[in-house]
Amino acid sequence: MVSSMGLARISRVTPAQIRKDLSYFGRFGKQGRGYNVGQLLEELWRILGLNRRWRIALVGVGKVGRAILEYGGFDSQGFQVVQAFDVDHQIVGQKLASVTIRHASELEQRLREDPVDIGIVAVPAVEAQAVVDALVRCGVKAILNYAPLCPRRPAHVELRQIDPVLALQSMTFHLKALEQPAKRR
Amino acid sequence: MVSSMGLARISRVTPAQIRKDLSYFGRFGKQGRGYNVGQLLEELWRILGLNRRWRIALVGVGKVGRAILEYGGFDSQGFQVVQAFDVDHQIVGQKLASVTIRHASELEQRLREDPVDIGIVAVPAVEAQAVVDALVRCGVKAILNYAPLCPRRPAHVELRQIDPVLALQSMTFHLKALEQPAKRR
């Protein structure tokens, strides 16, 4: 068993916030007894959609794309790359981590025949918008983007950006403020 | 010149928000004439602390760490990896992208002699907390973490997480909701 107090300590929010967030999805735990850890975990996985498999198409099999295909951490969490595309004829036709890499020109046809839930974009910045547009046309509703720009997409399409330079840039304002407290406004 | 309307369209917020955000840092642009693009860019870079160089220590030179050292995109944005550490004796002593890799046991001594602004953590999950603690002891105020867990750190230390699995997991709730609108609460 774990109390909302215990969960709050681990996640560094207030116990009231924990109880409020969970109550949004129904009744959890018993007054004064807390939550059964196993049941709570199972419920959370179900709520978050993590108790099933999600099919992924990877576009761009350069250095980053290759690392994604070969990374063992996705599959155990229910994320499976089932299709991969590139424009490099040296790479097209190769099989990596049981996925045969297809030419990017086949992307729309293949995704219409064999739809995926999520697209991973690992192409150069100049290609990224066209790739996102093609994925959206094929019904992809969630995109993980490694290209160093923020592509436009319809409001119903979720996008997460993996960009270390952006992440570093988002911290420098704070670093500067720590260095020069007198100049802070 | 660019108007707050033009900036708002590009960044998909309201013109009022653009004016409010910029006014926080002083007077920008002229009423009815908009902003001079060159001046605005320079000011924004200064405000964000991007007009100077930031020194980085990289801990962990495995696959990810190596990609970071060899990635050309940091330097042009003012981010320079000046120190690198690993525990693998095969790697320690090697020079990569003009940085000599030192043994992790030397980390605290070297960072005290030659401080850095930012730490990049690219070690296995089980090592990450100890590395973050050591970086914090050496005065590092900003950490970019590639290890798949969220390390504890003091409130004054900024942390950004680069974790593709976490990013994918954060989208599945939304995907599930789109699939089953009737079951949404």
Q: What is the interface pTM, i.e. ipTM, of the complex?
A: 0.86
Q: With 0-12 CB in 10 A as exposed, 13-18 as middle and 19+ as buried, what is B152?
A: exposed
Residue A63 lies in a domain: yes
Is A50 close to B172, i.e. CB distance below 8 A?
yes
Does B90 lie at the interface with A, CB-CB under 8 angstroms? no
Q: Which domain holds residue A35?
A: 4-47
Quote the CA–CA distance of B164 and A144 in Å, as a whole number.
Answer: 8
Q: Is the pLDDT of residue B185 over 90?
A: no
Residue A170 lies in a domain: no
- pLDDT tens digits along B165-180: 999 999 998 898 887 6
Closest Cβ–Cβ partner in A50, A141, A175 for B141: A175
Determine which of A171, A178, A184 to mutate to test the interface with B (most B C-beta atoms within 10 Å): A171
Residue A88 lies in a domain: yes
Closest Cβ–Cβ partner in A141, A148, A164 for B144: A164
Q: Is the pLDDT of residue A181 over 70?
A: no
A37 and A83 assigned to the same domain: no
Nearest CA in chain B to A118: B168
B159 and B97 assigned to the same domain: yes
Measuring CA to CA, which residue among A151, A144, A168, A152 is closest to residue B73? A168
Q: Is the pLDDT of residue A8 over 60?
A: yes
Residue A183 lies in a domain: no
Sheet with B95-96, edge to edge strand ranges: B95-96, B99-103, B79-86, B54-59, B118-121, B142-145, B158-161
A68 and A156 assigned to the same domain: yes
Distance of residue B171 Cα from the nearest chain A Cα, in angstroms: 7
Q: What is the mean pLDDT of residues A51-68?
A: 93
Distance of residue B11 Cα from the nearest chain A Cα, in angstroms: 10
Q: What is the mean pLDDT of residues A144-164?
A: 94
| More reliable by pLDDT, B27 or A78 | A78
Q: What is the mean pLDDT of residues B93-101?
A: 94
Residue A71 lies in a domain: yes
| Highest-pLDDT range among A72-76, B45-49, B108-112 | B108-112
Q: What is the pLDDT of residue B181?
A: 54
Residue A57: pLDDT band (50, 70, 90) is: very high
Is B162 close to A158, i.e. CB distance below 8 A?
no
CA distances, A56 to each of A45, B58, B137 (Å): 19, 31, 41
CB-CB neighbors (< 8 A) of B120 in chain A: 164
Q: What is the mean pLDDT of residues B117-133?
A: 97
Nearest CA in chain B to A116: B175
Q: What is the mean pLDDT of residues B100-107?
A: 97
Q: What is the pLDDT of residue B27?
A: 78
Cβ pair A77, A101 in contact under 8 A: no
A69 and A9 assigned to the same domain: no
Q: What is the pLDDT of residue B140?
A: 97
Percentage, residues of chain A above pLDDT 70: 97
CB-CB neighbors (< 8 A) of A160 in chain B: 167-168, 170-171
Write b or e for each residue in A138-171: b if 16 or more Cβ atoms lie within 10 A of its Cβ, otherwise e: bebbbbbbbbbebbebeeebbbbbbbbbebbbeb
Quote the CA–CA distance of A144 and A162 in Å, as a whole number.
Answer: 7
Measuring CA to CA, which residue among A132, A138, A140, A135 is closest to residue A156? A140
- pLDDT tens digits along B148-160: 988 999 999 999 9
B10 and B79 assigned to the same domain: no
Q: What is the mean pLDDT of residues B21-47?
A: 86
What is the number of domains present in chain B?
A: 2
Quote the CA–CA distance of B35 and B26 in Å, as a whole number.
Answer: 13
Q: What is the CATH number of the domain that holds A73?
A: 3.40.50.720
B22 and B59 assigned to the same domain: no
Which of B15, B30, B47 is at the close of a domain?
Answer: B47
Residue A181 lies in a domain: no
CA distances, B104 to each of A156, B82, B181 (Å): 45, 15, 51
Residue B27 lies in a domain: yes
Distance of residue B101 Cα from the nearest chain A Cα, in angstroms: 21
A68 and A151 assigned to the same domain: yes
Q: What is the pLDDT of residue A184?
A: 43
Q: Is the pLDDT of residue B25 over 90?
A: no
- pLDDT tens digits along A82-128: 999 999 999 999 999 899 999 999 999 999 999 999 999 999 999 99
A21 and A58 assigned to the same domain: no
Q: What is the mean pLDDT of residues B114-133?
A: 97
Distance of residue B158 Cα from the nearest chain A Cα, in angstroms: 7
Closest Cβ–Cβ partner in A142, A172, A174 for B174: A142
Q: What is the pLDDT of residue B37?
A: 93
Residue A178 lies in a domain: no
Does B68 lie at the interface with A, CB-CB under 8 angstroms? yes
Rg (CA), chain A: 21
CB-CB neighbors (< 8 A) of B162 in chain A: 162, 164, 167
- pLDDT tens digits along B72-81: 889 888 999 9
Q: What integer best gives the mean pLDDT of chain B?
A: 91
